Chains A and B, each alone.
Chain A
Amino acid sequence: MLHKTQFNATYGTRRQRIAEIALCQKDPCAVTTSTPRHPPGTRWRISLNNERFAGLLWQIVVVGIAIAVVAWLWSNAIHNLSVRRISTGFAFLGREAGMPIADTWLAYSPKNTYLRAFIVGVVNTLRVAAIGIVLATLVGTIIGIARLSSNWLLSRLAAVYVEALRDIPLLLQLLFWYVLMQGLPAARAAWKPIDGVYLSNRGLVLPSIPIEEGNLWVMAAAAVGLIALYALRRRLLARQMLDGKPRPLWPYALVFVVGLPALVSWGLGVSWTITVPELRGFNFVGGLTLSPEYFALLVALVTYTSAFIAEIVRSGIQAVPKGQWDAAMALGLRRSFVLQHIVMPQALRVIIPPMTSQYLNLTKNSSLAVAVGYQDIVSIANTTLNQTGQAIEAIALIMAVFLTISLGISLFMNWYNARIALVER
């Protein structure tokens, strides 16, 4: 039986062959045994041996099962919700949240709605993820280069750093940092590494510049200047392609990125005085305070992720053959030019894809905040879930937020990756 089905699958069925032979007999020039037949499975036949039919059947069966399972779960959920008298839908978002959020950049009070609380949570997640990504990239790159150092002690230490941090769960590290933060002296006896920087069990306090509307306008001007500079750089490069003459960019940079914001700042009379934190009573006044929860989470995320990034950077640099250095140096190019224009572009091609997944990991891992009580989106959704019982909606919101962030990071990194990818013929 097996032989027969295999035979049929490979050579077509008997009737098909008879038809083909009949066809051959009509056409005298094709009466050979090596007549080109139809490849198997391109015709429609209701038989499991027909590839197209079997494929269709498989798809119907699998999709049918998936739909049935989802429908079953959904009907159970509807039933359970009605028994427990939980109303579905996102109407609860408009109700008063009544949950305090200690650490926030946006104006918030417990009287605000759940929607506002969720937005605060998203901002808190982004705040830790964005700063974490920047710092982890910096630290990871330094450690990765240190691992390749010809200095034995430095490269060994970097290897120990990587190995130790990679092999211990992030949650354990996070709890460890948090306990250390709580064990720091009180604000009065705060540890003071540099003037104006205090580390105590109230968190890290840094000098800062108070941000008001005017400051934001200046920053916006700087951003506009950067975009203009980028566009200009492209034009200058295009013109250099035509006549081969390099054109300096720095005068334009001076005008757009320094001059324009300075002009706006002067015109609006914006103040840029730095406020240094001062100890008054039991707490600090002025400056920028990073809460112990935020600081512990940031330190844990940065150290943990930087260990992975270090390995990625190391392997990326090692992937560039030494001959590339030698060849570029033989052309008499400067070392910094070689690194910037010859080695780094090649290393980046190896580095970017795994780096993307590390950025995604860091963002997702920031949800561990709930373990130390930093109120990110997961923590706020969890509180909402306990207060209102809207489990499905709360978890759907978490998922939607993270899927959006993940998609955003992936899109950006894919765009960047495509930009630096090797152009092949």
Chain B
Amino acid sequence: MTSVTDAPENPLPFGRPRSRSVAGNRVIRWLRANLFQSIPSTIISLLLILVLAKACVSLVQWGFWNAIWSLPGNDTNACRAIRGLGACWAVIPEKFRFILFGTYPFDQQWRPALATLVFIALFFLSSRPRWWRKELVLVWAAALVVIGFLMWGGIPGLPFVSQDRWGGLPVTLILATFGLAFGFPLGILVALGRRSKLPAIRSLCVLYVELIRGVPLISLLFMASVMFPLFMPDGINIDKLLRAQIAFVLYAGAYLAEVIRGGLQAVPRGQHEAADALGLSYWQKNGLIILPQAIRHVIPPLVNTFIAFFKDTSLVLIIGIFDLLTTAKTAIIDLAWQSFSVQVSVFVGLIYFAFCFAMSRYSRGLEARAGTT
């Protein structure tokens, strides 16, 4: 600390007494360069520090100092007494199984937990560029089958659980993942169709994309829950979750199509001409030459669409499907815990944040890498 060798990036002038340590100097220099470089900046910094300190103190008081972490004997009066002064985190250990897995049979809840882990492993695998090859499709198919077996059961050792009883995080992940898994190929087809030279196909694709993108997701979900049964012939009764899933596939397809179309536009014309010159058919040309390049161009915006889509699955709350947000809202219907929804919101918010933040960091990393190479 007391070594007097100059910091290489900013050597001090000779002959100046070095009374303070270099580390101290560095801190002061940093503060002057970043917080107090001018009078307005100093005023802003001081104000922000004041506000931040105040907010931090009250947050720590509420969240930690005055908080109640566990309640003996499930008596919530202590929590109610402290309401407004401190958080009642005891609601989380009490309710977290219900929030995460809904009404899934309690002794079988290792199954949705395992399914969640399979999902996370699948996402992790898919994010590695070295896994971006054809086998990945097989891995996805296998993983989705495994998840189906885990959730439904019905094979020896795993009793059958109907999907009315599914809930919580697995439902959110199922809606998002299946929506993307089926919406992605749909989006590719529609994007190709929108750039096709055939007028009828092009206008059909434009109609589909603009219709879906022009209306709110809620109206699509209402359609799925209320109108869909009207459109089916007698005797065919499709489950509510599956109907919502179909709405999500259509929704994801339209948005992904627009992103992929952007990628297709970025592929130079020469690539099309070269593929034509080789005598490749339309599907060979697009499958082997154009799409691999187009999709690579748009991976960051694709990930952003995935993030938006993941968040949008929470809208099924409005049509009464038990996803993560709905179970969280239902968990505190219980009279004893009714007034602690802020704590539950924080808990669920952190789960959503963890998934979305991971994806957004990942997308930023990809962008940075694409920028350097």
Contact = CB atoms under 8 A, between A and B. Distances in A.
A171 B201 contact: no
Contacts of A169: 311-312, 314, 325, 352
Contacts of B37: 150-151
A163 B233 CA distance: 47
Contacts of B116: none
A62 B204 contact: yes
A74 B233 CA distance: 10
B345 A150 contact: no
Contacts of B114: none
Most buried by A among B197, B218, B279, B315: B218
Interface in B198-249: 198-201, 204, 211, 213-219, 222-223, 226-227, 229-234
Majority secondary structure, B binding face: helix
Contact of B352 (A154, A168, A175): A168
A76 B314 contact: no
Contacts of A63: 200-201, 204
Contact of B227 (A83, A175, A392): A392
B41 A367 contact: no
A402 B219 contact: yes
A9 B311 contact: no
Contacts of A364: 215-217
Interface in A366-410: 367-368, 370-371, 378, 382, 385, 391-392, 395, 398-399, 402-403, 406-407
A180 B227 contact: no
B120 interface: no
Contacts of A170: 311
A77 interface: yes
B356 interface: yes
Given A81-B230, A175-B329, A168 B215 contact: no
A168 B317 CA distance: 15
Contacts of A370: 218, 318
Interface string A1-36: 000001001100000000000000000000000000
B333 to A, nearest CB: 13
Given A81-B230, A167-B357, A365-B216, A154 B222 contact: no
A319 to B, nearest CB: 14
B357 A399 contact: no
B74 interface: no
A174 to B, nearest CB: 10
B349 interface: yes
B345 A172 contact: yes
A167 to B, nearest CB: 4
B342 A179 contact: yes
B273 to A, nearest CB: 13
Interface of A: 6, 9-10, 55, 58-59, 62-63, 66, 73-74, 76-77, 79-81, 83, 149-154, 157, 163-164, 166-172, 175-176, 179-180, 183, 364-365, 367-368, 370-371, 378, 382, 385, 391-392, 395, 398-399, 402-403, 406-407
6 contacts: A167-B357, A167-B360, A168-B353, A367-B216, A367-B218, A398-B219
Interface of B: 34-35, 37, 41, 44-45, 48-49, 52, 197-201, 204, 211, 213-219, 222-223, 226-227, 229-234, 279, 281, 307, 311-312, 314-315, 317-318, 325, 329, 341-342, 345, 348-349, 352-353, 356-357, 360
